[in-house]
Amino acid sequence: MGKESIIKRVVKCLELAGSSNPNEAASALRKAQELMAAHNISSEEILAAQVTEKRVTSGRASRPPTWMGMLVNMVAEAFACEPISIQRFGSGQIAFVGIDPAPELAGYVFTVLRRQITKDRTEFRKTCRGKEANRTRRADLFAAAWVSAAGSKVSAFAASGENRERIEAYLACHHSDLVIHKPRPLNPTPRDYSALAAGHGAGKNVRIHHGVDGADQQRLTCVE
């Protein structure tokens, strides 16, 4: 039996150790301790085993714009997850790390909102005039305001929880080489505030709702 299977057995024993039956609880705790000692399993590994991650596409930019970082962090916070940016072979991914089913939901919400904000930003950019750099900056400001306006709806939808100890244990076991990257700054000028206002208005129009039947109960839809 591999170590991963043994860790799962230990987790199961620890769950049973919370039983209201004193004898069953004591027996389960004793078995968990025996397995950990016999197979040199640390408490950190047990905590990490209770955590999962969901990876989703984020784009190709090695240095993402501020609005993308805002979107990632907003979704991660709403679902009590830790976000990790992963760059491989010119393609970017975000891994949402948390307690199941939070990562799956966070990944789905992020994917839906990223698709919508990318579409809205592209449409807004077509309305901008002037130099290329100014058009890009105003489109980024539009997107940042979009995220800010949509944030309250995502938070209202998600049920957050406190699982920091387990998530930190998972990161230590599986992502010990993390590097912090700063996003590209926005640097707005007085002429750019119309972009912020437009983005805020577009973000307020985002609607997130639960599905209504069985398998779709955890699904979300971003209505245009």
The range of the structural domain enclosing residue 29 comes to 3-41
Residues in CB range of 125: below 8 A, 6 or more apart: 135, 136, 138, 139, 142
19 and 127 share one domain: no
Work out the end-to-end distance of the chain between its first and last CA atoms, rounded to an integer number of angstroms: 51
In a domain, 128, yes or no: yes
* Residue pLDDT, tens place only, 51-95: 888 999 887 666 778 899 899 999 998 888 999 888 776 678 899
Element (H, E) at 54: strand 52-59
Could you tell me what percent of the chain has a pLDDT over 90? 17
**How many independent structural domains does the chain possess?**
2
Angle (CA) 10-50-156 rounded to 5° is: 150
Mean per-residue pLDDT over the chain, rounded = 78
- pLDDT at residue 122 greater than cutoff 90: yes
The pTM of the full predicted model, rounded to 2 decimals, is 0.64
Residues facing residue 51 across a β-bridge: none
In a domain, 155, yes or no: yes
In a domain, 46, yes or no: no
* Mean pLDDT value across residues 10-24: 83
Torsion sign across C-alpha atoms 86, 87, 89, 91:
positive
36 and 65 share one domain: no
In a domain, 47, yes or no: no
141 and 176 share one domain: yes
Which range among 4-8, 30-34, 150-154 shows the weakest confidence by mean pLDDT? 150-154
- pLDDT at residue 218 greater than cutoff 60: no
